[in-house]
Chains A and B, each alone.
Chain A
Amino acid sequence: MTAHRFLDPALLARIGDLELVARTVVDGFISGLHRSSYLGRSVDFAEHRPYMPGDDIRRIDWRVFGRSDRFYVKEFEADTNANFTIVLDVSRSMAYGSGALTKLDYARFLAASLAWFARRQRDRVGLMTFDSVLRAVIPPSAKHLEVILHTLDTLEPGGAGALETPLERVAELLRRRSVVLLISDLYDEPEAVTRSVSRLAAGGNDVMVFQVLDPYERTFPFEEPADFEDLETGERLPVVPGEQRAEYVALLEGHLSSVGRSLVAAGVDYVLFETSRPLDFALFEFLTRRQRLSRVR
């Protein structure tokens, strides 16, 4: 797989219509895959298995019983009516971007694309945004894609961010088991991140976490000594990048690996995105990871 196949986020940023962006990403992605088996979610039959006591008798395939006089239960590839809820971090730190896209823009595109993608699978799609509190709540529905795209289109960065309080509220609002996609830069302590996300997963939700970071946050390529101002708190700190870069990068990477490890350990699917990476590549990576989890038992 070569990079030229993917859509440059900077190019996407020039497309004003978010729906068009989402469709461009998803359609291009699907045509690139030639409708391969990765598209696993459908109403298609998967297999038969012997009936076990406790199985719902409505799922017994009576035609097989008529032919073989044995009870078999039909299993399908996917639940076509799954709830797909995108939980999007709109805190102030998401407004950072060293290139054409801020992290929030990137997250916005990602969320729109996945919403579009989920809708194609006839999933119910919902959206929740938060900074330190829950901001917008669009419950999962088959008819909410337009509203979600509009909401994403008009998103503005909020204030200082926090994970625990809003995610606790999200867990309360999710009444049915959902696929929950959390998109955030996860600027919180690894323990707090794990605790918050685990609470979502504990409710029976299938939780995925997309961490979005700007390349500058990871490489810290600044040269001139300057005052660095925290986007969320407004606090200023004199920094000599040449002197402090190596230690900063080491600290951040340590944080990222710590967050990743603890999330994976908690059974959460975790992917780190840099805003410089193509969106369809991100989708591809996401789906390959999700392949093994695509079945709904």
Chain B
Amino acid sequence: MGFSLLAPMFLAAMAGIAIPVLIHLTRRPRDRSILFPSIAFLRRVPYRSMKRRKIRHWWLLALRAAAIAAIAFAFARPFMAADADVAAARGPRELVVLLDHSLSMRYGDRWQRALAAAREAIAGLGPDDRATIVLFSDRAAVLAGPTGERTALASSLDGLEPGHGTTHLGGAVGLAAELLAEARGRPEVMVISDLQRGALADAEDARLPAGTRVTISGVGEDVPRNIAVPELAVERLPGRDRERIAVSARVVNTGAESAGDVAVHLEINGTRVATKNAVVPARGAASVRFDNIAAPMSEARIAVRAGDDPLPADNVSYALLRPAPPIVVAVFADESRRALFVQRALEVGTDPRFMLRLRRARELRAADLEGARVALFVDPPPAGGQAALAAFIERGGGMLVAAAPGWPLSGAPPVVVERVADHGGRLSTPDYDHPVFSVFRAPRSGDLSAARFFRYRRAAITPEWRALARLDDGIPTLLERKGPATSGRVLWWASSLDDAWTDFPVQPVFLPFVHQVVRYLAAYEPPELAARLGQPLDVARIPGVAAASELVVETPSGRRVPWRTSAGEPAPELTEPGFYTVRPVGAATAAVIAVNPVPEESDLAALDVAAVERRLTPSEAGAAQGGLATLSPAERERRQGLWWYLLVGVLSALLAESVLANRLPISSEVIR
């Protein structure tokens, strides 16, 4: 039987022993008063400090100190470790090797050193020892074991290559805890990793079982420099002829030395089309922009590569640029000049581009709406066109009506409010959470209150409408109809879309406002340039393959993965950076997805090995708790019942103290 403590922090209360010592040194019985003829001479004698006093009544002091010590020890909850536990602590080892195979392990010879460390650990197993090899990055999985077969364990490492995930120890420690919970030998965990800074980010709650011995084999080292391309952006440039693009990339250097003259290459569809040089400071970043590049007619695989270092996997960033069809906008106005401001605003759209159709509002026909995703009514639609418009909205089309006195509003026609006399009303409370206004939320993102509204219609808000913006007099200026999610969106604008009733069209915010309105009405989603590594494949965002029931996914390394979506198979995970192709079975064409490496893996700064070891090693208290957790309540109570005896001891000590204290010649009477 051995002793251990469940709450050793209570031992700190033993410092309370100092209290009786101090009392014995400084004690002046407060109830003891000696009458004396005159204390005038005593007052002139300086009062001595306590430290020169002598301790008296050693027995009393010993009893009091013993009582305090016993109380502290009782609260520390001592318990007896069973012989079986002790025997287990001396038995065969149960080793779990946590082998990091994240992207950063590709740096230099880290992976070879990691494999060597794992093999060394396997070779060190005794005849009764067992081991399990767990591969982990952002997920953890058992590679081999638990087994005592050293050959099998070693051969499982043959041909193994690091992956592209991030270093997250939490999951691996959790898996190790599960594996060790069942084991009867001495639990041991060996972590072989480069211990990147974020390795412990998810390990807050990870706890290894009681008594687990943790060893860390750190294969990371501070590297002089590491170049990475964590971000890539593609911008469509305005142009009347062939579409042109600009590609921007951020190049970072996570090392401690500056990298001068880093060659940055732009590749489109595998062909290097441009190269630039950049100077990247130590622990800094540089931005490289390839401007005015002719965009391919079909979808383009864009890659930017920078530098040359021992970790090439993060030196490239990928993007897939698909041809973006313009949003067809039908603008209805009785006179073309009234649509001038809207027309000019939509002509400069590039991302997405807008295609305008200008029609007379009062001559609205159903054919005018065909192929359009958005209808803008500068003048109110005729009553006869309501059916065509309703059908258009039902199909998912979006519509904005400016200053219409009737339909689509219901109820009494909105009256016109004149604000010429007081210099017009101002937009005061836009709903910045709404997509139309969200771009104006940040400071200096456009002053919506600069516009003045001299005339507008006052509409009563019915339950089927909601106000997205109001003027300074509280009258809603932009209303949205609440419709079913499947149908198109309808907006109602209280003033004019030209300069007849307001100066809004000549304000700088008018152009982004119109763009946002059209994007919202068209339910426009910007195309995703690249997916993030580690996520499952999302076919809903890939045009052309969403409806296919059987797909073949080809990874950047050329591995083919069949995927039957109709059978409910889970989506394959994107585990490699590069371009995935997704092809419906039997189809001639394939969709492409770009996947980028995880930027966190580029930061190769390592954690302190000792600190990680301390963090993962279970505390003594945890060990004790863990040991007790597996016992039956009765046995648990029996083993930790020592505190009862200690409290009895405390009571005895206090009783003896009382008796002794009363026998000492200390009188509480007044002495004369």
Contacts and interface: CB of A to CB of B under 8 A. Distances in A.
B35 A96 contact: yes
Given A237-B43, A247-B45, A93 B28 contact: no
Contacts of B672: 96-97
Interface stretch (A45-53, A194-202, A217-225, A263-271): A217-225
Contact of A227 (B27, B33, B45, B53): B33
B372 to A, nearest CB: 99
Contacts of A244: 42, 45, 47-48
Contact of A232 (B38, B42, B671): B38
A105 to B, nearest CB: 13
B34 A228 contact: yes
A39 interface: no
B44 interface: yes
A228 B53 contact: no
> Interface range on chain B: under 10, 10 to 19, 20 to 34, or 35 or more?
20 to 34
Contact of B41 (A94, A97, A248): A248
A236 B665 CA distance: 22
A252 interface: yes
B52 interface: yes
Contact of B42 (A94, A103, A231, A248): A248
Interface residues of A, number: 32
Contacts of A228: 33-36, 39, 42
Nearest to A97: B672
Contacts, number: 90
A78 B77 CA distance: 94
A225 B28 contact: yes
B32 A224 contact: yes
Contacts of A232: 37-38
B587 to A, nearest CB: 101
Interface in B387-415: none
A187 interface: yes
B33 A225 contact: no
B28 A226 contact: yes
B611 interface: no
A235 B34 CA distance: 11
A229 interface: yes
A239 interface: yes
A190 to B, nearest CB: 12
A33 interface: no
B29 interface: yes
A251 B41 contact: yes
Contacts of B35: 96, 228-229, 231
Given A224-B29, A224-B666, A244-B45, A230 B38 contact: yes
Nearest to B665: A224
Contacts of A224: 29, 32, 665-666
Contact of B33 (A185, A226, A240, A255): A226
A226 B29 contact: yes
A214 interface: yes
Contacts of A237: 39, 42-43
Interface of B: 27-30, 32-48, 52-53, 665-666, 670-672
Given A96-B37, A226-B671, A237-B43, 5 more contacts: A103-B37, A228-B33, A240-B47, A244-B47, A247-B46
The 5 nearest A-B residue pairs measured at CB: A93-B37, A243-B48, A96-B37, A244-B45, A247-B45
18 contacts: A93-B37, A96-B35, A185-B37, A187-B37, A224-B32, A224-B665, A226-B29, A227-B28, A229-B39, A230-B37, A230-B40, A231-B37, A231-B38, A232-B38, A244-B42, A248-B42, A252-B41, A255-B41
